[in-house]
Structure 1
Amino acid sequence: MLERELKLAAPQGFDLPDLAQVTADVASADVVTQKLNTTYFDTRDLRLTRWGCSLRYRIGQGWTVKLPGPLESNGDVLVRGEHVFQGDPQKPPPPALDLLTAYLRRGQVHPVVRLRTIRQMITLRANDGSPLAETVQDDVAVLDGRKISTRFREIEVELKEAAPDTLLPAIFERLSVAGAGAPDPTPKVVRALGNRAQRPPELEVEEPAPEATAGMVLRRALGLAVIRLLRHDAGIRLGTDPEDVHQARVAVRRLRSHLRTFLPLMDIEWAISLRQELGWLADELGAVRDADVLMDGLRKHAAALAPRDRGAGAKILALIAVQRESAMSRLSETIHSPRYVDLLKRLVDSARAPQLAPIAAESGLLTLPPLVASLWRNVRAKVDDFGQEPDDTQLHKLRIRTKRCRYAAEAVAPIIGRGARTFARAAADLQEVLGEHHDAVVAMQWLRDHAASGTLTFVAGQFSALELVTANSARARWPQAWRAFDRKKLRTWM
């Protein structure tokens, strides 16, 4: 479940106001007082807390894991994934620890702080009685053995799944009028642990200045991709959103691309070895993602089938589902293997301190553009080799090379500026058209291999015809996207 939460300071003397009918969506408000006893678990270096995660046991409620939300900031609203487990109060349940694998890797957790909280809670309900939001005032005591080491107060507003986004600003306004303090997204565990918990995570990405070295720019590019992979690991384990597999695959592709493009900046043996190991993970992620893309495309076609053909359409989709399930089973084995955990550790260490060649200490403005220009020349050479009508394989190879250009331009954009960003956008436009073509070609080949006989033949033919239309449309559009990408003014910075 994705948690949408707003935290506010609660000054002395503050009392929660009446929130009944704060908006037209709210029909009633229930008020209760609770006593909560909570123990937070973390590694000795507070790895979870510093990454924005938490693992806690609360008497009467069980275990809760909170995971960082989307990479994009949502202002003062704290968006996190929340997952509840039951188990022994003294020992975190394995499924809870499993969700935290990307951050813990082989780190061991133990109790780090205990809190005793008096909570006054207002539950806002809709007309049908379903909860829309909880607004709480917490008086928190941080315990040191049996003694209280410090106290603090805070207000939390948590929207439930059915709540409209407009409810949160309305509650915030009502609380502000009543005297609540400014928004403060600091989690309780961070307040309780103090300065140690406020240190940055073990992998932190800094924006390079224009005078940054090539190594600094590379470190940022590697760090962003590794963080993306870590953020989506838990989602893959949960298996509820195919986008997690997609984003993890993108992260791995970017890493492999950077290790290839910027190889002159690194220790060659180190970079090649890491890239090869990422290839193992890329294959497993790719098998699942390819099935998802195929399913998405053919599902749209199936929805438009005549009623008499829908049974055959459903059988074709079922074949893809079986293929996807098998690929997901292999991916699950992969991410639960010691080899994968070793790779995660290696990636974090590599992003923090990549093994660089002496040239990486030189100016990024001087060193990096020629590396991107080399990629561009490879793309240009590929197009120059095309005949009047490039075949499907040639277009696919062009897409791969274009993607490398895009990733490289995006990596150097922080110091190059608008020129690199514009070049990257043009590359992305061409990549998108070529991607549409490739997906359609793959779908047609899959239909020939798996559904071109027996009772599925007729519907498979309909699907193939629709995919052929998509492929031909993309084939007709790619020259225009190429001409837009081939403009000289996009490369003046190289």
Structure 2
Amino acid sequence: MREEELKFSVNDGFVLPELAVLAPQGGEVVRAGTRRLSATYYDSPDLRLARSGVTLRRRTGEDGPPWHLKLPTATANVREELTAAGAPDTPPAELARLVTGWLRAARLVPVVALDTTRDVWQVRDRAGRPLVELVDDAVTVGNGRQRTGGFRELEVERKADGELTAAVMRRAATLLTETGASGDAFVPKAIRALGPRALEPPDIAAPGPLPRRPTGGEVVTHALRRTVARLIGYDVRVRRGEPDAVHQMRVCCRRLRSDLRVFAPLVDSDFAAPIIEHVRWLGGALGESRDAEVLRTRLSRTAARDPLAPLDGHALAVLDTDLAERDRRAAHALAGAMDTHRYAESLEVLVEAARHPRLTARARRPATRTLPRQVAKAWRDLETAARLGPLDPDEAWHAARIQAKRARYAAEAVAPATGKDAARLAKAIAEVQDVLGEHHDAVIAAQHWADLAAQHPDDPTVMITCGRLVERERAAARTDRARFRHAWSRAAKPKRTRWLAADGGVPAEARPTPEVAGAR
């Protein structure tokens, strides 16, 4: 459930203005009583949740489950609220799991208690439907039995969708501020009660812009922090089964490994080795779930490729059932892996590495002098791998895909420091990577359809359908091999790689152009 609300600070002497003016035509403002709420908020001792804009509490005094988890969204005053039943002193497991990305290996403990006397008004439309709820909260702050302070706060919460509700929200905000309420930055009650420590930055967040003339080390650090922040952010999305979340988290793992390898001369090797191992393990845990997800999507896509030659519906249903079971098992295994101590430890290692990377002396040199050489090496490796002919084995095409990822990630990492040249090259390599990725998916799918056929030896219809799927996948792979030639010719233009000559990199025009599909 999405919760959209506006908050206003007021002093004890503030008098609410006449609220009837907020009613839309034909509607009314109704006094909806007084509630007495008691809430205990849970966090790590160093307030990792609060500093990330997350709140986990147990609150009594109102209808519904007592445990509430509120997650931040892209809009400051909009949060997603999840609820659950549970014992009084232990956060429910289903909510505690969802905060693992922020909490990592730290434990959950009670950090603050709030007692609130809440006076409630509802703005209703002509049909009696609540549009907006306005509450006047008198809050007492405590920690256990000790009361440590208090404050008064007004909230205006959206209760219905539509422009009419939005108009009432705007009118309420104007009315309250004009009569002396302070509508400053959105700060949840618990964070306000916890004080300055709760307003400190999270342990890891997406980094801001680089300095005007960054060092190579600053660029590498920027890339690590950006990717680790994204990976941590995907934890809750993977746990909730959001579309593409597993894929994106796996991409973060691959990008981290690639960056640490490509920029190895700038990163202490003893520092990088354990990080790569943690990321390799995490990427492996994500891999089976992602592969199952891709295959299930691929089945419907491949089956629909030729509408003039439809495949047997019964056979497709059997195959989809097999894939759904594989998907279920993979999701269960991934959830188990993400609930282990090893997973939490891996996140701790990644966050600490991003906060305090150990770099070499070379990392102190200007980025424009050090980084093009590293990208140039990744590009040369890609050029070598891209010497592909139409009859080369699938493994060679997959190896080229891996090198394309490394070269693309390298160019993207340095783009903030080296400018548009790197961004253009990265975009061109991304097109190559997409073609090679489609080729790889077709190859893997063809093998899987063949394996499924072998699992149904007593169902000729399923076996024939699997054979037809294999043929379509191999045809798609041949098409992708032909498409590769065009994508590679665009990426390999000298104008895209000339900037790699900096710091001793070999200019693209000085190197031979690799053979491409169809050139042999």
What TM-score does the superposition give when structure 2 sets the normalisation length?
Answer: 0.82
Larger deviation, residues 460-469 vs 355-364: 460-469
Instruction: Supply the AA of the counterpart residue of 1:228.
Output: R
Larger deviation, residues 256-265 vs 86-95: 86-95
Matched, 1:184 2:185: yes
Instruction: Choose which of 59, 62, 67 in structure 2 pairs with 1:63.
Output: 67
SS in 2 for 1:155: strand
Structure 1 partner of 2:258: 257
Larger deviation, residues 368-377 vs 422-431: 422-431
SS in 2 for 1:100: helix
- Report the Cα offset of residue 56 of structure 1: 0.7
Instruction: Choose which of 486, 492, 496 in structure 2 pairs with 1:490.
Output: 496
Structure 2 partner of 1:290: 291
User: Cα 1:460–1:173, aligned 2, differ >3 Å: closer, same or farther?
Assistant: same
Larger deviation, residues 346-355 vs 318-327: 318-327
Structure 1 partner of 2:248: 247
Distance 1:232 1:292 in 2: 17
User: Cα 1:141–1:319, aligned 2, differ >3 Å: closer, same or farther?
Assistant: same
User: Cα 1:194–1:440, aligned 2, differ >3 Å: closer, same or farther?
Assistant: same
Distance 1:441 1:271 in 2: 33
The answer to whether the Cα contact below 8 Å between 1:316 and 1:451 also exists between their aligned partners in 2 is no
Instruction: Supply the AA of the counterpart residue of 1:58.
Output: R
Structure 1 partner of 2:510: none
Matched, 1:460 2:466: yes
SS in 2 for 1:387: coil
The answer to whether the Cα contact below 8 Å between 1:17 and 1:178 also exists between their aligned partners in 2 is no
Alignment of 1:442-453 (within 5 A): 442-451=444-453, 453=457
Distance 2:30 2:405 in 1: 54
Matched, 1:155 2:155: yes
Cα distance per residue 1:412-453 (max 9 Å; x no partner): 122122222222111222212221222122111110111265
Larger deviation, residues 253-262 vs 188-197: 188-197
Alignment of 1:305-316 (within 5 A): 309-316=312-319
- Report the Cα offset of residue 206 of structure 1: 3.5
SS in 1 for 2:115: strand
- Report the Cα offset of residue 82 of structure 1: 2.6
Structure 1 partner of 2:476: 470
- Report the Cα offset of residue 389 of structure 1: 4.8
Larger deviation, residues 450-459 vs 138-147: 138-147
SS in 2 for 1:241: coil
Structure 1, unpaired ranges of 5+ = none
Identity %: 35
Distance 1:484 1:84 in 2: 52
Distance 1:19 1:459 in 2: 64
The answer to whether the Cα contact below 8 Å between 1:409 and 1:423 also exists between their aligned partners in 2 is yes
Structure 1 partner of 2:212: 210
- Report the Cα offset of residue 244 of structure 1: 2.2
The answer to whether the Cα contact below 8 Å between 1:444 and 1:464 also exists between their aligned partners in 2 is yes
Structure 1 partner of 2:134: 136
Matched, 1:113 2:116: no
The answer to whether the Cα contact below 8 Å between 1:10 and 1:154 also exists between their aligned partners in 2 is yes
- Report the Cα offset of residue 300 of structure 1: 3.7
Structure 2 partner of 1:358: 361
Alignment of 1:71-150 (within 5 A): 73-74=74-75, 76-78=76-78, 80-117=79-116, 118-120=118-120, 122=122, 135-144=133-142, 147=147, 149-150=149-150
Aligned pair count reads 478
User: Cα 1:39–1:314, aligned 2, differ >3 Å: closer, same or farther?
Assistant: same
Cα distance per residue 1:186-242 (max 9 Å; x no partner): 22222222211111011242422132222222122111222222222233333x324
Distance 1:426 1:415 in 2: 18
- Report the Cα offset of residue 159 of structure 1: 6.1
The answer to whether the Cα contact below 8 Å between 1:31 and 1:123 also exists between their aligned partners in 2 is no
- Report the Cα offset of residue 148 of structure 1: 6.5
Distance 1:89 1:320 in 2: 41
Structure 1 partner of 2:172: 175
Distance 2:311 2:389 in 1: 44
Instruction: Supply the AA of the counterpart residue of 1:174.
Output: R
The answer to whether the Cα contact below 8 Å between 1:53 and 1:65 also exists between their aligned partners in 2 is yes
Distance 1:258 1:133 in 2: 50
Distance 2:194 2:30 in 1: 32
Distance 1:479 1:126 in 2: 65
User: Cα 1:140–1:364, aligned 2, differ >3 Å: closer, same or farther?
Assistant: farther
Distance 2:334 2:183 in 1: 44
Alignment of 1:22-33 (within 5 A): 32-33=32-33
- Report the Cα offset of residue 153 of structure 1: 1.7
- Report the Cα offset of residue 313 of structure 1: 0.7
User: Cα 1:436–1:307, aligned 2, differ >3 Å: closer, same or farther?
Assistant: closer
User: Cα 1:371–1:169, aligned 2, differ >3 Å: closer, same or farther?
Assistant: farther
Structure 2 partner of 1:280: 281
Instruction: Choose which of 321, 337, 354 in structure 2 pairs with 1:318.
Output: 321
Instruction: Supply the AA of the counterpart residue of 1:268.
Output: S
User: Cα 1:313–1:417, aligned 2, differ >3 Å: closer, same or farther?
Assistant: same
Structure 1 partner of 2:407: 405
- Report the Cα offset of residue 50 of structure 1: 0.4
Cα distance per residue 1:294-326 (max 9 Å; x no partner): 111213455788999222111101111222222
Distance 1:287 1:140 in 2: 51
Instruction: Supply the AA of the counterpart residue of 1:235.
Output: R
Distance 1:303 1:29 in 2: 55
What TM-score does the superposition give when structure 1 sets the normalisation length?
Answer: 0.86
Distance 2:380 2:148 in 1: 67
SS in 2 for 1:37: strand
- Report the Cα offset of residue 183 of structure 1: 6.8
Distance 2:295 2:498 in 1: 39
| Cα root mean square deviation, aligned | 3.1
Structure 2, unpaired ranges of 5+ = 501-520
User: Cα 1:297–1:192, aligned 2, differ >3 Å: closer, same or farther?
Assistant: same
Distance 1:138 1:154 in 2: 5
Larger deviation, residues 215-224 vs 138-147: 138-147
Structure 1 partner of 2:512: none
- Decide which structure has the larger Cα Rg and report it: 2
Structure 1 partner of 2:436: 434
- Report the Cα offset of residue 6 of structure 1: 4.0
User: Cα 1:147–1:342, aligned 2, differ >3 Å: closer, same or farther?
Assistant: closer
User: Cα 1:475–1:126, aligned 2, differ >3 Å: closer, same or farther?
Assistant: farther
Larger deviation, residues 331-340 vs 166-175: 166-175
